[in-house]
A and B are shown apart, each in its own frame.
Chain A
Amino acid sequence: MIAELLLRIAIGDLERAHALIGDLEEDAYETSGRTPSGTWLVLKASPIAARFLLDRALRPITERPRTSRALPADERRISMIAMLWQEMGNALRLPMRAPAFVAAAAATIALGVGANTAIFSIVNTVLLEPLPYEEASRLVRVWPGETMTKGWIMTFEEAVSFEALAGYGGASATLTGVGRPLELDGGDVTREYFGVMRAAPLHGRTFADSDHAHGADPVVVLSHSLWVRAFDADAGIVGQLVSLADDDFAERRVIGVMPASHQPLDSAWDFWVPVRLNPKYDYPGSQMSCSCWNLIARLDSGVGLEAASAETRVIGEQIHTDAPDRLAEAALLRASAVPFLDDMVGDQQLPLLLLLGAVSLVLLIACTNVANLLLARGEHRRRELAIRAALGASQRRLAIQLLAESITLGLAGGALGLLLAQASIGYFRAALAAVVPRTTALQLDQRTLLFALVASLTASVLFGVVPALRVLDRGSARREGGRHGATRGQQRANRILVAVEVASAVVLLVGASLMLRSLQELTSVDPGFEPGNLVAVRVNAVGDRYSDPAALQAFYEELQAKSDALPGVTAVASIQDLPFGDGHWGWNYTIDSEPLPAGASMPGAGFRVVSSSYFPTLGVPILAGRNLRESDIHGAEEVAVVNDAFARRHFDTIEQIVGHTVTLNTGASFRVVGVVQGVRHTGFRSDPVPEMYRPLSQFPTRSRFLIARAEVNAASVGDDLQALVWDMDPDVPVRDPQTMTSVMRGSVAESRLFTELLGSFAALGAILAGIGVYGVVAYTVSRRQRAIAIRMALGAPAANVLRHTLREALSPVAIGAILGTLGAIGASQLLSSLLFGVSPRDPLTLVVVPVFLLVVATLAAALPATRAARVDPVSTLRQE
């Protein structure tokens, strides 16, 4: 695309440019047998385009020794491009004439363009680049308002809007026999899955209908990455049994391996297993399975999103009629079919576009700085331009000369910026990979290059146009009589530019400060436990050995005893899902104090299973009743502890709930023996929800998190715990130890990253604006020395001069600060959904930021202003 654009501009004929690209593609195909990449085409097309431009520029000299006036309009246009080309050639000598100016201007533009290019490359990779599947634009997430049962997936399979539709859910399994046991995530998918994705296996096959049948042999398809990692890319693995153990099977037969080019729908997936269908329970419309599947579909050709969404709603209503408690009417309101990419990166859209907005403000500030530099130079240039004009150069020719200089400067800065962006891309890839989907593939592609080109050219026009107009305004020059002094028009231009950059900096800083305060608020929320020096490892007692509950219990009891005895450990506890982690269980229940009215749906609450040492270890206070005890074992009375939110839902005072019986919708019931303070298990943002805690000794789970509080070094205790488990049983998978503080940091990683980026851009903008204000004041003072000297010679005191200079310098800053504050009030509304505990119109921020910038500007202006006040009138006037 860029290659064609280049050639088209250079040749001025689309057809010829097209044919030329064809020739290039033919050459490439004949030498390498492949269609060339866009980058290759650009590399080959650029010198050809340059040759054409050069030829064109020289043509007036080599072929047509006539004046441009005699040329028809069309030819005159060409000769204007030729002029621009020539002037750009001249502009290349600029660095020799004014090296400091060129270095400062190019570096400023490089910062602006570099930041923009880097952020655009992220936007491009995450939001714009299509998903790596065939005709990916037709892939949609079908969302009836809730996740679906197997039977409802079958109902949806009959929908007419979709060429194919599949259900998918998460699966986890442990792979043993390949060194250390590997805990893996995978996809549990229905029969059309690979058809929807249009993905073919590298070896073997994908699932057939028979693989989904009840009682079929357990099979698995491996991801390319797992195949390489665990099986050394051995094609012979197809057909073999592997020890991939999950809750249902200890072994599975590998039937296929996907190619490296197939990206799993969830980047964490390492395998796929077939959803199994029991004809007794699983038939179209059946609600007799867990509703834990999402739907992905490929739109039938010619079917639009609207139609697909409408059909999704219709089927959703059917399901709602059959099972109102599993698909509520309120959920149905959200029923729709959305492009899969939007669904995947929808959350990232706002932060990324805001960052793009922020960097474009940085570029605007950079442009105003360069414009100020150019304005200052313009004073020196007048004489040169006057000479050229006297020698016969038309006004238009001079305008082209200035435009050419701006473009050359912009492109040079842009090229440097591109290098900056390229250098920073590795950092961004590392920082974003865990937080923002799709960023592992971050790179500067053709579209990003085009963006950088457009950004550089736009910047050239932005910073070039005001100075060019000023320089060409001959009238004012004549009025000033060619004296060295800033003209009134120029002063006005300077002041406008200063106001613009201060306003932009205020908007940036307000946004960044709000995010920073929000992050502080977020992380200073009390999580409900003491996170210091806590470390957790996930232990998963898989395998036949632990099928017997007594053996499982014995294993974990021994582990608890041995980890209690570890040096440096003060307490150890277990829980099935870590606070601030990903897993959350919940059940619907009834309580004996409140019989459920007929037709009402049961309330739900979080469900956690813990060891009796959990609350003391984490420092969670018991508010009423008693803690769970080691004597609460299987066979003894079934008990639970609830949190205060749960107790308050049913009673005025929390003590009242102790002694009441709770019954889950599964039929299991237990007595409440105590109330604990709420823990924010799901993260800083949400208040503790009603939760119940059952003892692991009565509700044993195979996989648990072991949490230890260390005396000093949590990290080394984590390693000890891992070693301890493997010492007891080397086949039990243990996930890498994590300190609780790092888990909590991870839960706000996205906010933190966004805040850091926005903060750096705001800081960059503020620094550039500070430099800009300093530059303008310093320049104005130096130009106005004579006026100041006259004034002082006439008796003006130094303090007056200082005040006058400062007032003049700071009035555009004040105007900019006010405009910026107004702009920030508008712009911060965009942030409101990302803020926590801070209003987008936070008065403190809206006052402090502009005042801070005023202080910075005053400091920036003070130095040159003091110099102005120290002017020695006699020597200055003598110089004139």
Chain B
Amino acid sequence: MGSKSLGEFEQIVLLAVLRRGDNAYGASVRKELRARTDRTIARGALYVTLERLERKGLLTSKMGAATPERGGKAKRYYGLSAEGLTLLRQSGRDLMSLWQGYESVLDEA
């Protein structure tokens, strides 16, 4: 399989999908990112990244049922694959271990 490390943007997209649980689809993931990171994500960047992560086997996706809202268009739901979860866990651990002992830096921000 492709690369064994995650880019920063890939990582936060995976986290947003994780946080959204069963309700992770394009628009909701973008909303999650906007709420949590306080930055506006270009739709193009998000959708291309979702597709790339899926191609790398880190995300899985399936079409939902059609809904009367959104002009009757169905949602495409995303979820983490086992590999995606492992990789995310790994990079989370790496980050946390790096932060260890320096939490005070976070508080000052």
Would you give the shortest CB distance from B96 to chain A, in whole angstroms? 29
A20 at the interface (CB under 8 A from B): yes
Which A residue sits closest to B66, measured CB to CB? A22
Do residues B2 and A26 form an inter-chain contact, with CB atoms below 8 A?
no
Which A residue sits closest to B55, measured CB to CB? A63
Do residues A21 and B73 form an inter-chain contact, with CB atoms below 8 A?
yes
Size category of the A interface is 20 to 34
Do residues A51 and B71 form an inter-chain contact, with CB atoms below 8 A?
no
Stretch of B15-23, B44-52, B80-88, B99-107 contacting A (4+ beta carbons < 8 Å): B44-52
Do residues B43 and A47 form an inter-chain contact, with CB atoms below 8 A?
yes
Do residues B63 and A19 form an inter-chain contact, with CB atoms below 8 A?
yes
Q: Which residues of A contact B73 (CB under 8 A)?
A: 18-19, 21-22, 25
Restricting to B62-103, which residues have a CB under 8 Å from any CB of A? 63, 67, 69-71, 73-76
B42 at the interface (CB under 8 A from A): yes
Do residues B52 and A19 form an inter-chain contact, with CB atoms below 8 A?
no
Do residues B44 and A48 form an inter-chain contact, with CB atoms below 8 A?
yes
Do residues B25 and A19 form an inter-chain contact, with CB atoms below 8 A?
yes
Assuming A44-B43, A51-B45, A55-B52, is B71 touching A23 (CB within 8 A)?
A: no
A629 at the interface (CB under 8 A from B): no
Q: Which residues of B contact A50 (CB under 8 A)?
A: 44
Query: How many A-B pairs fall under 8 Å by CB?
Result: 68
Restricting to B3-30, which residues have a CB under 8 Å from any CB of A? 25-27, 30
Q: Is the interface of A mostly helix, strand, loop or mixed?
A: helix
Q: Give Cα distance in the complex from A19 to B69, angstroms.
A: 12
Q: Is the interface of B mostly helix, strand, loop or mixed?
A: helix
Q: Which residues of B contact A11 (CB under 8 A)?
A: 51
A1-42 toward B: CB 8 Å interface, digit per residue (1/0)?
Answer: 000000000010001101111111111010000010000000
A615 at the interface (CB under 8 A from B): no
Q: Which residues of A contact B52 (CB under 8 A)?
A: 55
Q: Which residues of B contact A29 (CB under 8 A)?
A: 69-70
Q: Which residues of B contact A451 (CB under 8 A)?
A: none
Do residues A23 and B44 form an inter-chain contact, with CB atoms below 8 A?
no
Do residues B48 and A23 form an inter-chain contact, with CB atoms below 8 A?
no
Q: Give Cα distance in the complex from A368 to B2, angstroms.
A: 49
The listed residue (A19, A51, A55, A63) touching B26 by CB distance below 8 A is A19
Would you give the shortest CB distance from A653 to chain B, in whole angstroms? 77
Do residues B76 and A19 form an inter-chain contact, with CB atoms below 8 A?
yes
Would you give the shortest CB distance from A273 to chain B, in whole angstroms? 42
Q: Which residues of B contact A25 (CB under 8 A)?
A: 70-71, 73
Would you give the shortest CB distance from B77 to chain A, in whole angstroms? 9
Assuming A23-B27, A26-B69, A26-B70, is B47 touching A52 (CB within 8 A)?
A: yes
Do residues A51 and B44 form an inter-chain contact, with CB atoms below 8 A?
yes
Q: Give Cα distance in the complex from A27 to B69, angstroms.
A: 11
Would you give the shortest CB distance from A8 to chain B, in whole angstroms? 13
Q: Which residues of A contact B63 (CB under 8 A)?
A: 15, 19
Q: Which residues of B contact A20 (CB under 8 A)?
A: 26, 47, 76
Q: Give Cα distance in the complex from A50 to B27, angstroms.
A: 19
Restricting to A428-469, which residues have a CB under 8 Å from any CB of B? none
Chain B contact residue count (CB 8 A cutoff): 22
Q: Give Cα distance in the complex from A27 to B74, angstroms.
A: 14
Q: Give Cα distance in the complex from A47 to B45, angstroms.
A: 10
Which A residue sits closest to B63, measured CB to CB? A15
Do residues A63 and B2 form an inter-chain contact, with CB atoms below 8 A?
yes
The residue among B26, B30, B67, B70 with the most chain A CB atoms within 10 A of its own CB is B70
Q: Give Cα distance in the complex from A29 to B47, angstroms.
A: 20
Would you give the shortest CB distance from B72 to chain A, in whole angstroms? 8
Do residues B25 and A35 form an inter-chain contact, with CB atoms below 8 A?
no
Which B residue sits closest to A64, measured CB to CB? B2
Assuming A27-B27, A55-B52, is B74 touching A22 (CB within 8 A)?
A: yes
Q: Give Cα distance in the complex from A48 to B26, angstroms.
A: 12
A674-715 toward B: CB 8 Å interface, digit per residue (1/0)?
Answer: 000000000000000000000000000000000000000000
Do residues B27 and A26 form an inter-chain contact, with CB atoms below 8 A?
yes
The listed residue (B44, B47, B74) touching A18 by CB distance below 8 A is B74
Restricting to B31-46, which residues have a CB under 8 Å from any CB of A? 42-45
Q: Which residues of A contact B74 (CB under 8 A)?
A: 15, 18-19, 22
Q: Give Cα distance in the complex from A835 to B43, angstroms.
A: 57
Restricting to A805-853, which residues have a CB under 8 Å from any CB of B? none
Q: Which residues of A contact B45 (CB under 8 A)?
A: 51
Would you give the shortest CB distance from A49 to chain B, in whole angstroms? 8
Q: Which residues of A contact B51 (CB under 8 A)?
A: 11, 16, 52, 55
Q: Which residues of A contact B27 (CB under 8 A)?
A: 22-24, 26-27
Do residues A47 and B25 form an inter-chain contact, with CB atoms below 8 A?
no
The listed residue (B47, B67, B70) touching A48 by CB distance below 8 A is B47
Do residues A23 and B25 form an inter-chain contact, with CB atoms below 8 A?
yes
Do residues B26 and A21 form an inter-chain contact, with CB atoms below 8 A?
no
Which B residue sits closest to A35, measured CB to CB? B71
Do residues A51 and B75 form an inter-chain contact, with CB atoms below 8 A?
no
Q: Which residues of B contact A23 (CB under 8 A)?
A: 25-27, 30, 43, 70, 75
Do residues A22 and B70 form an inter-chain contact, with CB atoms below 8 A?
yes
Assuming A16-B76, A63-B2, is B44 touching A21 (CB within 8 A)?
A: no
Q: Which residues of A contact B47 (CB under 8 A)?
A: 20, 48, 51-52
Which B residue sits closest to A13, measured CB to CB? B51
Q: Which residues of A contact B48 (CB under 8 A)?
A: 51-52, 55
Q: Which residues of A contact B67 (CB under 8 A)?
A: 22
Do residues A47 and B42 form an inter-chain contact, with CB atoms below 8 A?
yes
Restricting to A86-103, which residues have a CB under 8 Å from any CB of B? none
Which B positions have Cβ atoms within 8 angstroms of A?
A: 2, 25-27, 30, 42-45, 47-48, 51-52, 63, 67, 69-71, 73-76
Q: Could you write out 28 A-B pairs with CB less than 8 Å apart? A: A11-B51, A15-B63, A15-B74, A15-B76, A16-B51, A16-B76, A19-B25, A19-B26, A19-B74, A20-B47, A22-B27, A22-B67, A22-B70, A22-B73, A22-B75, A23-B27, A23-B30, A24-B27, A25-B71, A25-B73, A27-B30, A29-B70, A48-B43, A48-B44, A51-B45, A51-B48, A52-B47, A55-B52
User: Beyond A21-B73, A23-B25, A23-B70: 18 further Cβ-contacts under 8 Å?
Assistant: A15-B63, A15-B76, A18-B74, A19-B73, A20-B26, A22-B27, A22-B73, A23-B30, A23-B43, A24-B43, A25-B70, A26-B27, A27-B30, A47-B43, A48-B43, A51-B42, A55-B48, A63-B2
List 5 A-B pairs, minimum CB-CB distance, nearest first: A22-B73, A51-B44, A19-B76, A23-B27, A23-B26
